[in-house]
Amino acid sequence: MTNIDSNTSLFCVIGNPVAHSLSPLIHNLAFKVTKFNGAYVAFKVEDIKTSIEGIRALGIKGASITIPHKLEVMNSLDYIDKTAEDIGAVNTIINENGVLKGLNTDCDGAIKALKIKTEIKDKKILIFGSGGSARAIGYGINKSSGDLTITNRTTQKGVDLANFLSCEFTGLDKINVSDFDILINTTSLGMHPNVDSSPIDLNSLHSKQVVMDIVYNPLKTKLLKDAEKKGCITVNGIEMFVNQAVLQFEAWTGLKGPYIEMKNAVLEELTKR
């Protein structure tokens, strides 16, 4: 972190919980690498509306928005860019002289991570979950001409998301996982400390599938370990997390984000844990 002074720009992540977040680690590292005079902290927030008023009043220059506030935060912003509006979720705020603008970097971050490993066009893709990340990834898959299906533990939320994305919904009790080319977990199943959880049974997987898990702590979730046992191509949560963070950093600072350094910092920290 740079020396904090009266010219230091403050940034933050807002969510509940946030104690596990690695966003402060990688954004403060990015400030240091690029010599940008900024500092980034984590705020555990239950009331998103008053916290956004605080951002405006205190002159906080930008914020990352995480679970569970990505949808509700939209009601408190002055401007929302087209991609975030189409997705219906915001994960990034830019404060431009008191005007708060909402963006979504989850979409491009996830799609970039997927495309490193596989094509998306015409692939049968199953998303587990119905939250803000599922919305963003589903939107990106539609834009990339994938054949999308949603499944979710709570039927109505899954149906609502499927309707929003103009795709099919199938209940967990009826889904045949082996029918899909790409499987994406956007739920918290498998996240530390519940590391023995997975949304997919090991025996449902086969070697021709690509399996992505947006959970990045632990580095290898049970789902990804099971997928590797079956010979699947895997995409871990770090790729999406770092890609979206780089896009946030660039939106806030106008500088090129130091992707390699940010990714290595996450890998090092997760290895320690």
Give catalytic residue positions.
70
Return the percent helix, strand and coil in the chain, to nearest 5. 40, 20, 40
Single-letter residue type at 168:
E
- Cα angle for residues 211, 69, 164 (degrees, 5° grid): 60
In three-state secondary structure terms, 42 is: strand
Query: Which of 100, 82, 101, 104 minimizes the C-alpha distance to 91?
Result: 104
Helices (H) and strands (E) in the chain, counts: 9, 12
